[in-house]
Structure 1
Amino acid sequence: MHMLNLGILAHVDAGKTSLTERLLHTVGVIDEIGSVDDGNTQTDSLALERRRGITIKSAVVSFAIDDVAVNLIDTPGHPDFIAEVERVLSVLDGAVLVVSAVEGVQAQTRVLMRTLQRLRIPTLVFVNKIDRAGARYDGVLEGISTRLTPAIVPMGVVVEPGARDAHFTLFDDARLQAPLLDLLAEHDDDLLAAYVEGRVSCERLRAALARQTGEALVHPVFFGSAMTGAGITELISGIKELLPPAEDDIDGPVSGTVFKVERGPAGEKIAYARMFSGTLRTRDRLTFRDGEEGKVTAISVFAQGAAVREGAVAAGRIGKLWGLGDIRIGDTIGVPRKSRADGHGADAHYFSPPTLETVVAPCRTADKGALHLALTQLAEQDPLINLRQDEVRKEISVSLYGEVQKEVIQATLADEFGIDVMFRETTPLCIERPAGTGTAVEFNKKDPNPFLATVGLRIDPAPVDSGVEFRLEVELGAMPYAFFKAVEDTVKETLEQGIHGWRVTDCTVTMTHSGYSPRQSHAHQGFDKSMSSTGADFRGLTPLVLMSALREAGSQVYEPMHRFRLETPADTLAAVLPVLAKQRAVPQTTEMRGASCVLEGVVPVAQVHELEQQLPGLTRGEGELECAFDHYAPVVRGAVPDRPRTDLNPLDRKEYLLNVTRRVGG
């Protein structure tokens, strides 16, 4: 049996979870269709998901389509939980992108489609809700073509859109031939030649469609309704015939990726892993991140809607693994595998990072210790909340994508841990970039250096979105590799807080000098660390050198910016524009569409929430605002924002050395 790991993705409220329920019912896995409103769906298992009627965590269910076993992964649609989608993308063989026939292409739809195309994940488009009032056929197709991709193939037509009995009828081969030929011939010279010579059969066209869909060159579009079942049978056939099954090597070395971590009823850690190669068995010992080890004590695999205990999980399948207490999301099991994202590893990021931050405080002072433990467990399931402990102020900060995520964290802490919390005002997460080049060096056994190490570093600006790269201008054999590794790891850790306290990125750090004191010992005694360099010397010295180099280079603070699209009645424009200006939003294009006006531009992330709150009153409730992260822009107005430090403050040498060594050099 072939395996297919299929993701269901969409903008919030487009009907992903309802579609999952309908698919499971149609293939016979469930007898009754659950409702998001009633909170009894298969994939929204969390109490909070059932109460709010939204998907917060990804969930896996399975079903069979003839000889194809499908692991279907339902993902959150709300942009505040985009990190959950990100982790799923690395394990997919194909995807169904759901679009509402009423609302059409929305902000999150575009973000998802761009990422699916960049990762070359084969994708079908399913236009849902054709039975709802206001459902459109031609308008939605035009929106998909202009705002997502022109490489689409409508597979049929909707009869009576907007009516309860609306249904989807597939085109026959004659109707499909002309649009298929035009689109498929762009990527297939042999097909074009065969067409010119008059020898293109329907079978050849269908085969070319399946091949190019599998290569993510074209995207078939189906229409239907998850509520009435219209178009679902046709979509199921499309999934089987057009999406490629997993191409994994069962006989190869063990290789897999952990994309989800959760806690069981007894608090045990459970890892969800997609296997790409080999077979993982119960009692196998695994080595993962930084030499951590663990033994698999139990395995479940997904079959016909449920997770069932098995003794092994083979390539192509998704397994739930017990016994790996130190496992984390993104960890590789066995042999590393390159991700689809530009050749980076499994930890590559496909979406923007969180752009907001808030301080979490317990309502009861006695809950401080329990709060830290609870947030640590939540960070296992969502590493991007990025816990930040301020030992001086005794505060804990978390990173966020939006206000809804804050509400979910608050409810989760109350429901699962019995901790009531309050949040400070949400603030934007800025970044720093070097403004120029800076160098610094401190030599072993020369004042004011109290460490048995020589470290010289140069920091240079690098292209936008390049991250942090560490390079060597010294011979790798000049000292033990562990010392170089200590410097590299400390460089990346130190750059989490720059001159102004923000994460420093888009730079290259080059090690220009190195040196150490070889291992020494007294007669008849063991190793003397007071005369010999250790990794601690390099970890202690590196922050001082790096911050000196960064201070010389200078750093510029950048704030996160969203691209916005605002559609509002034209007669409200006079009231809207001054508010946009006050919130530092800059419209870049304006287009009149009948009685409506569409503005597109950029706005600081810090102003988005307030803008969202003001717009309904300004537009009689008719304004539609879409926002998505776009870029970072230099802070040019007002004082440069500083972020309180939570490290040992290598910018203050005396304070730093007191904390690190309890002695002051020089």
Structure 2
Amino acid sequence: MKSTPTLPKGGGTIAHRTGGICHYVGFNDSNALEREKGITILAKTTSIRYRGVKINIIDTPGHADFGGEVERVLGMADGCLLLVDAVEGPMPQTRVVLRQALILGLAPIIVINKIDRPNARPAETVEATHDLLLELAQTPEQLGAPVLYTNGRTGTATADLRYPGTTLEPLLDTLLSSIPPPVSDLDGPLQMLVSNLDHDNHIGRLAIGRIARGILRPGQEVVRLSEDGVGPPQKIATLLTVEALERKPAEQAGAGEIVYLSGLPDVAVGDTIADANHPEPLPRLEVGEPTLRMQFSVNQSPFAGREATVSSTSRQLRARLQRELQTNIALRVVDGITADIFEVSGRGELHLSILIETMRREGFEFEVSRPAVITREVDGHRQEPVEECIIDCDTASVGMITETLGSRGAQLQMMRTDAGSGARLTYLAPTRALIGLRSLILTLTRGTGVMATRVVGWEPWRALPPRTRNGVLTSSQTGTAVAYGLSGVQERGQPFIGPGTPVYEGMIIGLNRRTGDIDVNPTKQKQKTNMRASTEDATVKLVPPRQMSLEECLDFIEDDELVEVTPKTIRMRKRILVASERIKLRKREAAV
């Protein structure tokens, strides 16, 4: 069927924020965590009209940890904008997203962005991108992808750097000419694959997807085809389409259109919505397997219940994790060894930490363990995932970074330095060697370093240099930390808390200068006497406490420790809070 102006002219898949494509797309990173971390976490759709044609645009995450988000929405697109930084060139996550898009047969358009940067290398970037296409392309047509150069700040594009652009029309014209229209069968029975879910306070759960065949109208009778089979007939309550950032009611939508529909309370990602008289399923979504797992458990600390704003019992925690599975299809949740523990697996450290932070902001409190790598057995040999890690930093930080990566057992593959743009280091390392590295790189480079990773395969399990963390300082009392007590703590090591911080027995409050854990009393008050104290004795000088992020805490703790997460506070604690019980356990383990 020929494309008409009333049908969408394909969907564009954008690996990162587009900036200047239109005024709407810059607002796509609306989630608070997305704004804070500067990354896209959730896939989103928008649309524009250009020369009488509706162009659906899908903004997808670029980070490999959120590959599940990418995999579930690529089926709604007909082409992709491969957005590459003119300075950085193709990154590991670029490869991840591009491979998935090309396997699905999407037509690529290469967009070299940020050409206004002082150290822009457009010619080298185009060459590197062509090399990537040559490696990943599935058809000869994909190798002939057109190239455009854009400046997101000014909203301009050009196909030739000799002639600077004045508008984005060259990019939009290329979209119309290079991306094929959807193959639309308006006369066949309805078929639609649910690629995403959303919630509206007024109309409830919304199923999002692109109509593969037929026409959809409000009030139409459909069936839901899930893994459990064909469901009972149901009626579509509301049908919405997207215009810019607005969802507008529609009287009907045809094949090729991306729609939002309500009236299906049990719908899940991967289900097929089909005509009630012709229940034909579409292939279900398949996503990559997780690489990391950790335990989520009910908060058992003495401060449990103080800061949570929603009920955080095992039942509520289970319900929240099960609800996450409805949209976060790369996540896995299974019951743990007790009713209060859940094993949660994800695609990477960032994937899991975003879930933890999201639940924390929703008002939940719980405890999590140190992330552990998921391994597999092949011919009786243990294997673990291996990742490529690329770090961009200033040349002054290269020495510290190479020392840090070397101490973790990472293997340097390539190093490129440039007087203007800094240095790029490429490593291969087991996934377990990279846990906690992202926040450490930011610290070493004073916030200027950029780290990107992707899983490249599996290798036999090998020994890594041992962790060299010193022992910890744990509180021996429950109460409130005071300056006098903390002065004794800082004599032993580096404190994590300041005066006025509530503490409990077994809570980790500092890092010991030596190996081995020490119990200290941060609540200790100075003994009062009748003697007048000198000014020197009365003044207690405290060093600033070390502030640690969630990711740093997850990397810091050992197997006998937990991170307590509440809406207001992140604490670290021993699994066994009472010091005498920990001593007894160590003696029993030593006797075995």
Choose from 106, 129, 148 the match for 2:91: 106
Matches within 5 A, 1:320-359: 320-334=260-274, 336=280, 345-349=283-287, 352-359=288-295
Once the two structures are TM-superposed, the CA of residue 222 in structure 1 deviates from its matched residue by 0.6
Distance 1:131 1:575, change over 3 A: closer
Once the two structures are TM-superposed, the CA of residue 560 in structure 1 deviates from its matched residue by 1.4
The residue that corresponds to 1:583 in the other structure is 408
Distance 1:144 1:415, change over 3 A: same
Q: Deviations over 1:253-289 (max 9, x none)?
A: 2111110012222683211021111112333131311
User: Is 1:83 matched with 2:23?
Assistant: no
Choose from 95, 108, 129 the match for 1:144: 129
2:17–2:59 Cα contact (<8 Å) kept: no
Once the two structures are TM-superposed, the CA of residue 239 in structure 1 deviates from its matched residue by 0.6
Choose from 356, 363, 377 the match for 1:410: 356
- Which amino acid in the other structure matches residue 409 of structure 1? L
Query: Partner of 2:56: helix, strand, or coil?
Result: strand
The residue that corresponds to 1:383 in the other structure is 329
- Which amino acid in the other structure matches residue 86 of structure 1? E
User: Is 1:286 matched with 2:291?
Assistant: no
User: Is 1:9 matched with 2:10?
Assistant: no
Q: Count residues with an aligned counterpart.
A: 429
User: Counterparts of 1:357 and 1:381 in 2: how far apart (Å)?
Assistant: 18
Distance 1:611 1:244, change over 3 A: same
Once the two structures are TM-superposed, the CA of residue 612 in structure 1 deviates from its matched residue by 4.2
Q: Deviations over 1:437-477 (max 9, x none)?
A: xxxxxxxxxxxxxxxxxxxxxxxxxxxxxxxxxxxxxxxxx
| Runs of 5+ unmatched residues, structure 2 | 158-167, 306-310, 465-558, 560-592
Query: Partner of 1:224: helix, strand, or coil?
Result: strand
Q: Deviations over 1:363-401 (max 9, x none)?
A: 446512222212221211112221222252520232223
The residue that corresponds to 2:246 in the other structure is 306
Q: Deviations over 1:125-153 (max 9, x none)?
A: 1111122332232222222223444899x
- Which amino acid in the other structure matches residue 136 of structure 1? R
Distance 1:228 1:576, change over 3 A: closer
The residue that corresponds to 2:22 in the other structure is 24
Distance 1:298 1:620, change over 3 A: closer
- Which amino acid in the other structure matches residue 383 of structure 2? Y
Matches within 5 A, 1:24-173: 24-25=22-23, 41=27, 43-149=28-134
- Which amino acid in the other structure matches residue 222 of structure 1? L
Q: Deviations over 1:38-93 (max 9, x none)?
A: xxx1x234344345443221111122122321111111223332211111111211
Distance 1:62 1:571, change over 3 A: closer
- Which amino acid in the other structure matches residue 175 of structure 2? I
User: Is 1:218 matched with 2:203?
Assistant: no
Distance 1:237 1:622, change over 3 A: same
Once the two structures are TM-superposed, the CA of residue 637 in structure 1 deviates from its matched residue by 4.5
User: Is 1:244 matched with 2:180?
Assistant: yes
Q: Deviations over 1:214-255 (max 9, x none)?
A: x43421111111220111221011111111111110111211
Distance 1:144 1:67, change over 3 A: same
User: Counterparts of 2:245 and 2:196 in 1: how far apart (Å)?
Assistant: 18
Range that drifts further, 395-404 or 271-280: 395-404
User: Counterparts of 1:250 and 1:96 in 2: how far apart (Å)?
Assistant: 27
Distance 1:55 1:637, change over 3 A: closer
The residue that corresponds to 1:367 in the other structure is 312
2:81–2:108 Cα contact (<8 Å) kept: yes
Once the two structures are TM-superposed, the CA of residue 112 in structure 1 deviates from its matched residue by 1.9
Query: Partner of 1:287: helix, strand, or coil?
Result: strand
User: Counterparts of 1:405 and 1:265 in 2: how far apart (Å)?
Assistant: 27
The residue that corresponds to 2:258 in the other structure is 318
User: Counterparts of 1:599 and 1:375 in 2: how far apart (Å)?
Assistant: 37
User: Counterparts of 2:320 and 2:225 in 1: how far apart (Å)?
Assistant: 24
User: Counterparts of 1:227 and 1:578 in 2: how far apart (Å)?
Assistant: 37
Distance 1:309 1:615, change over 3 A: closer
Give the aligned CA root-mean-square deviation in angstroms: 3.3
Choose from 428, 432, 456 the match for 1:606: 432
Matches within 5 A, 1:190-269: 215-231=141-157, 232-265=168-201, 268-269=204-205
The residue that corresponds to 2:547 in the other structure is none
- Which amino acid in the other structure matches residue 326 of structure 1? D
Q: Deviations over 1:337-371 (max 9, x none)?
A: 76xxxxxx33233xx43211122234446512222
Distance 1:252 1:264, change over 3 A: same
Distance 1:121 1:337, change over 3 A: farther
Distance 1:54 1:610, change over 3 A: closer
User: Counterparts of 1:279 and 1:81 in 2: how far apart (Å)?
Assistant: 32
Distance 1:248 1:44, change over 3 A: same
Once the two structures are TM-superposed, the CA of residue 607 in structure 1 deviates from its matched residue by 0.8
1:15–1:226 Cα contact (<8 Å) kept: no
Choose from 373, 376, 381 the match for 1:428: 373
User: Counterparts of 1:90 and 1:336 in 2: how far apart (Å)?
Assistant: 17
User: Counterparts of 2:394 and 2:35 in 1: how far apart (Å)?
Assistant: 35
Distance 1:601 1:88, change over 3 A: same
- Which amino acid in the other structure matches residue 9 of structure 1? I
Distance 1:47 1:580, change over 3 A: closer
Distance 1:557 1:312, change over 3 A: farther
Distance 1:590 1:238, change over 3 A: closer
1:583–1:611 Cα contact (<8 Å) kept: no
Once the two structures are TM-superposed, the CA of residue 597 in structure 1 deviates from its matched residue by 7.7
- Which amino acid in the other structure matches residue 332 of structure 1? T
User: Counterparts of 1:592 and 1:100 in 2: how far apart (Å)?
Assistant: 17
Distance 1:247 1:371, change over 3 A: same
| Runs of 5+ unmatched residues, structure 1 | 36-40, 153-186, 188-211, 339-344, 436-554, 644-666
Distance 1:117 1:388, change over 3 A: same
2:222–2:235 Cα contact (<8 Å) kept: yes
2:70–2:97 Cα contact (<8 Å) kept: no
The residue that corresponds to 1:276 in the other structure is 212
- Which amino acid in the other structure matches residue 607 of structure 1? A
- Which amino acid in the other structure matches residue 410 of structure 1? I
The residue that corresponds to 1:633 in the other structure is 459
- Which amino acid in the other structure matches residue 292 of structure 1? G
Once the two structures are TM-superposed, the CA of residue 579 in structure 1 deviates from its matched residue by 4.6
User: Counterparts of 1:617 and 1:303 in 2: how far apart (Å)?
Assistant: 42
- Which amino acid in the other structure matches residue 367 of structure 1? S
User: Counterparts of 2:394 and 2:359 in 1: how far apart (Å)?
Assistant: 41
The residue that corresponds to 1:535 in the other structure is none
Q: Deviations over 1:504-558 (max 9, x none)?
A: xxxxxxxxxxxxxxxxxxxxxxxxxxxxxxxxxxxxxxxxxxxxxxxxxxx5432
- Which amino acid in the other structure matches residue 316 of structure 2? A
Q: Deviations over 1:146-198 (max 9, x none)?
A: 3444899xxxxxxxxxxxxxxxxxxxxxxxxxxxxxxxxxx9xxxxxxxxxxx
User: Counterparts of 2:204 and 2:442 in 1: how far apart (Å)?
Assistant: 46
